Amino acid sequence: MAQDTQLVGKTCFVAGASSGINLGIAKRFAAAGANVVIISRSEEKIAAAAQEVSAFGKPCIGIAADVRDYAAVEAALKRTHTEFGDIDIVLSGAAGNFVAPALGMSANGFKTVVDIDLIGTFNVLRASFEFLRRPGASLISITAGQGDRPSMFQAHVCAAKAGINMLTKCLALEWGPGGVRVNAVSPGPIADTEGMARLASTPEAEERVKSRNPMRRYGTKDEIADMCLFLSSDQAKYVNGAIIPVDGGSGCGDASGNALANYA
Ligand code: HXC
Ligand code: NAP
């Protein structure tokens, strides 16, 4: 197979990339030739992830930084800029989730998820601005179906991801004139991830989720990385302010064949 050179000479910053979907995206950016910097809270996990990403391209830098800490995020972006110059792609995907009813959630439990997902995304995107290639940069947040569909036991995630969707559109309005595009990708249920391990923790629950999806399967990390690569390409240079589902159609409703499923 021909080597992918789409991102040669470009610099990518990926937040929340020590595991899962975001690590898959970082690997894809590296495989396409980019310089990649990744951050997450855990020094140990991010160092191991940086080793993995390095195997796909150039040496990847892993930095321990909590997206709730604006100064730490800003310092990581500054270091990225110092090492590699203007930043072409920023991916904000750090998130936290647990399954709990609103009444089983303390104020701090709710706030923790909103802080990581929504405030963290504001911090990453806001702090990135002065280090971006302008015009030309592509900013992508990772949202979820919970951002526009209410879900039991997910009040914190629904509120946080809905906020990310609106933030994406507001920044697209404000930063579009300067040639900075801001979009979000909304994955459906993705195989081999912490997110689905928490949301569908038994084989029965997993089968139930698959049976309701029009494609009858989980998506893959590669399928999310494909969309992020597309959004960062010239083919997407007029795509701005979009919330793009990569979910097999699960956003269209319940495809289990139960006519009442969407009304019950
Ligand atoms: C109720 C809980 C809880 C639970 C934690 N809390 N787990 N409340 N039920 N199961 C409460 C705690 O009691 C505490 O409140 C508050 O949340 C903060 O907890 P900490 O452990 O101090 O927070 P922190 O160390 O910052 O950890 C954040 C976390 C944790 C979100 C709680 O789970 C985490 O680190 N998650 C990262 C990995 C992850 O979640 N990956 C999945 C992403 S998938 P009190 O009041 O006691 O102080 C995703 C879903 C998208 O985002 C959709 C998929 C389809
Ligand atoms: P994951 O592997 O747990 O990824 C979450 C990442 O965020 C980890 O690398 C974690 O690393 C990092 N992180 C958490 N809190 C952080 C903080 N405060 N500061 C910096 N980094 C932090 O989960 P995933 O399932 O792959 O989810 C990745 C993204 O996809 C999330 O945005 C999630 O909402 C979204 N999503 C997932 C699914 C799914 O099916 N899994 C569906 C829809 C949307 P550390 O622990 O090292 O900090």
- Looking at residue 262, its pLDDT comes to 54
* 34, 7 contact by CB (below 8 A): yes
CA 149-150-151 angle, 5° bins? 115
* 61, 79 contact by CB (below 8 A): yes
| Residue 87 neighbours by CB distance under 10 Å | 25
Residue 94 Cα to ligand 2 midpoint, Å, equals: 5
Which residues of the chain have a pLDDT value below 70? 1, 260-264
- Looking at residue 2, its pLDDT comes to 72
- Looking at residue 260, its pLDDT comes to 64
Residue with tokens 């604006």: 70
pTM tops 0.85: yes
- Looking at residue 57, its pLDDT comes to 83
- Looking at residue 172, its pLDDT comes to 98
If one residue of 112, 142, 165 were mutated to test the ligand 1 pocket, choosing by the most ligand atoms within 8 A of its CB, it would be 112
* 8, 35 contact by CB (below 8 A): no
- Looking at residue 233, its pLDDT comes to 96
- Looking at residue 3, its pLDDT comes to 80
Residues within 6 Å of ligand 2 by CB: 16-22, 40-42, 45-46, 66-68, 93-96, 116, 120, 142, 144, 187, 189-190, 193-196
Residue 98 Cα to ligand 1 midpoint, Å, equals: 5
**Secondary structure of the chain in HEC code, one letter for each residue:** CCCCCCCCCCEEEEECCCCHHHHHHHHHHHHCCCEEEEEECCHHHHHHHHHHHHCCCCCCEEEECCCCCHHHHHHHHHHHHHHHCCECEEEECCCCCCCCCHHHCCHHHHHHHHHHHHHHHHHHHHHHHHHECCCCCEEEEECCHHHCCCCCCCHHHHHHHHHHHHHHHHHHHHHHHHCCEEEEEEECCECCCHHHHHHCCCHHHHHHHHHHCCCCCCECHHHHHHHHHHHCCHHHCCCCCCEEEECCCHHHCCCCCCCCCCCC
Residue 216 Cα to ligand 1 midpoint, Å, equals: 29
* 14, 29 contact by CB (below 8 A): yes
Cis peptide before 187 (omega within 30 of 0): no
Which residues does residue 40 pair with via DSSP β-bridges, in sequence order?
64
Q: Could you give the C-alpha distances from 182 to 29, 102, 118, 129, in angstroms and in order?
A: 17, 31, 15, 11
The CATH number assigned to the domain with range 11-190+221-239 reads 3.40.50.720
Residue with tokens 């990569």: 246
Residue 145 Cα to ligand 1 midpoint, Å, equals: 19
- Looking at residue 197, its pLDDT comes to 98
